[in-house]
Amino acid sequence: MYPRAFHYHRAGSMKEAVTMLTQLGDDAKLLAGGQSLIPLMKLRFASPRHLVDLNFISGTSYVKEENNELRFGALTRHAEIEASPTATKIPILHDCAAGIADVQVRNRGTIGGSLAEADPSGDWATVLMTLSTEVCCLGTKGSRTVPLRDFIKDAYTTALTHDELVSEVVVKNPPQGSGGAYLAFKRSAPVYPTASAAVQLTLEGDVCQDAAIALGCVGLTAIKAKEAEAALGGQRINEKTMAATIEAARAAADPQSDMRGSADYKRALVGALVKRAIEVAVRRARGERVEVSHIYA
Ligand SMILES: Cc1cc2nc3c(=O)[nH]c(=O)nc-3n(C[C@H](O)[C@H](O)[C@H](O)COP(=O)(O)OP(=O)(O)OC[C@H]3O[C@@H](n4cnc5c(N)ncnc54)[C@H](O)[C@@H]3O)c2cc1C
């Protein structure tokens, strides 16, 4: 189906895009990679009268390291992050970027668009929740920085006001001795995962000093599995702590039965994915180079 007719506006700067949003009102939408918005428009679930295109603004696509932080321009494509040696310094970021859909989607879709969309099945929010992540928002009143945990409010709902956009995503480098992994179970590459798990932990010897665990596609937003984190944090990693962590992660999941699988099936997947992600995260924290890819049905 074709989308309803709309007016196309090309912004020359992020500031100009904000001005356009303010002037055009509620019927205006930003266009980044178009990988969520265009399908919604074609299905006529979204029919904005005005599209403000961000794609021709220079300097909005980058991955750089400054002051012990990685900074991603809002228009940075998943594929650029996948290929970036700087982003790969935090291996869980590479796991995420490389596993999103297929190469066509990764070449167009952006990290800013993905967070702004706040799709419950989107990979970036799940992964970035295990790291110290801030979202820089630009609006008519200037810039503000929102921690990711406060940015995602609900399914498809963020802290952005209508005249605000995401300008940058900032991730703190994890401390020495850290490792992470992101694993998803998918029916095929160009679909969202059935369930996913992100684990980022810091080791001192055999003891897990700190653990962050987030679950994707099993709730209305990515879920921070706090009880599971508590079961692993401060503990020696052995069969007993692994079992307690996995059980707590399964309990934290809040899946719906749908075409991707029953709620029970997704909960079982969560247990298996968290276990595998912890195993890879531990090996990476010990300095091993470990390649992972998502698991396909
Ligand atoms: C076939 C297919 C499979 C996919 N599979 C996956 C998957 O497995 N995992 C996954 O994570 N994603 C998946 N996606 C989605 C993809 O990752 C998109 O890149 C992402 O959801 C949206 O990014 P975008 O840049 O395309 O945003 P757009 O579609 O351009 O915009 C999405 C929304 O965000 C708003 N927006 C865009 N940029 C900004 C900004 N800078 N500031 C404020 N608002 C903004 C837009 O107005 C719109 O409302 C898939 C998409 C397709 C088509």
- Chain segment 155-179, per-residue pLDDT in tens: 999 999 999 999 999 999 999 999 9
Q: What is the pLDDT of residue 132?
A: 98
Task: Tell how far the Cα of 111 is from the centroid of ligand 1, in angstroms.
Answer: 8
* 35 CA closest ligand 1 atom index: 26
CA distance readout (Å), 81 to 52, 84, 89, 99, 227: 24, 5, 11, 11, 31
Whole-number Å distance between alpha carbons of 171 and 129: 10
Q: What is the 35 CA–ligand 1 centroid distance (Å)?
A: 5
Amino acid found at 124: W
Task: Report how far ligand 1's centroid is from the alpha carbon of 237 (Å).
Answer: 37
22 burial (CB, 10 Å; 0-12 / 13-18 / 19+) is middle
For ligand 1, atom 33: residue with the closest CA: 117
Which atom of ligand 1 has the smallest separation from the CA of 166?
42
Extract the tokens encoding 179.
């490792």
Among 70, 64, 61, smallest CA distance to 32 is for: 61
Q: What percent of the chain has pLDDT over 90?
A: 98
Ligand 1: centre distance to CA 34 (Å): 6
pLDDT of residue 147: 98
Residue with the smallest CA separation from ligand 1 atom 4 is 101
Nearest alpha carbon, ligand 1 atom 36? 113
pLDDT in tens, 111-146: 999 999 999 999 999 999 999 999 999 999 999 999
Q: Which two tokens stand for residue 154?
A: 């609900």
Angle between helices 239-252 and 263-285 (to 10 degrees): 140
Helix runs in 76-225, H state only? 78-83, 85-88, 91-99, 103-108, 111-117, 123-128, 148-151
Ligand 1 atom 5 nearest Cα: 101
| Integer Rg of the chain from CA | 19
Residue nearest atom 39 of ligand 1, based on CA coordinates: 113
State the pLDDT at residue 297.
Answer: 85
Q: Report which protein residue has its CA nearest ligand 1's atom 41.
A: 166
Mean pLDDT to the nearest integer, 86-107: 97
pLDDT(1) > 90: no
With a CB cutoff of 8 Å and minimum separation 6, the contacts of 138 are: 14, 15, 18, 164, 165, 166, 167
Instruction: Say how far apart CA 48 and CA 8 lie, in whole Å.
Output: 10
Q: Are the C-beta atoms of 249 and 241 separated by less than 8 Å?
A: no
Residue from 27, 36, 163 whose mutation best tests the ligand 1 pocket (most atoms within 8 A of CB): 36
Cβ-based burial of 92 (10 A; exposed 0-12, middle 13-18, buried ≥19): buried
